[in-house]
Amino acid sequence: YDKIVELLLSKGADINAQGGGYGGALQAASYRGHDKIVKLLLRKGADVNVQGGWYSNALQAASYGGHDKVIELLLSKGADINAQGGDYGNALRAASYGGHNKIVKLLLSKGANINTQGRDYGNAL
């Protein structure tokens, strides 16, 4: 997939274009755990905190999907660990809902707020 992304970007695709269920390319790649594509998109200027879609942001998408490598990459590039929005409210609640205990531990160790509230699912507990 990374070759396709490179080709599309070389032809002028808008890296931060919004739309669809995932919200954008970075959120979709993060949800699927495509760390090479996430690296490529970030290197080419993707906004790590862009909002949109079911998961609101790439960190929440990766958390729901249980992709620790992508989470570490996003956090190293400045992803807001407590960003609010989307179906699960934030990354910690998405990881908790998805049953990813390793991701919950990772997010808590990186400073995720355990007591934030969400519109549909309450808190992480």
Higher-pLDDT residue of 64 and 125 is: 64
Question: In this predicted model, what pLDDT tens digit does every residue of 43-87 receive, in sequence order?
Answer: 999 999 999 989 899 999 999 999 999 999 999 999 999 999 888
Total number of domains in the chain: 1
- Domain span at residue 47 reads 2-109
Q: Residue 37 belongs to a domain with what CATH number?
A: 1.25.40.20
125 part of a folded domain: no
Question: In this predicted model, what pLDDT tens digit does every residue of 5-55 receive, in sequence order?
Answer: 999 999 999 999 998 889 999 999 999 999 999 999 999 999 999 999 898
Angle (nearest 5°) at CA 76 between 97 and 84: 40
117 part of a folded domain: no
Q: What is the pTM of this model?
A: 0.90
- Structure-block tokens of residue 100: 């990813």
65 part of a folded domain: yes
115 part of a folded domain: no
114 part of a folded domain: no
124 part of a folded domain: no
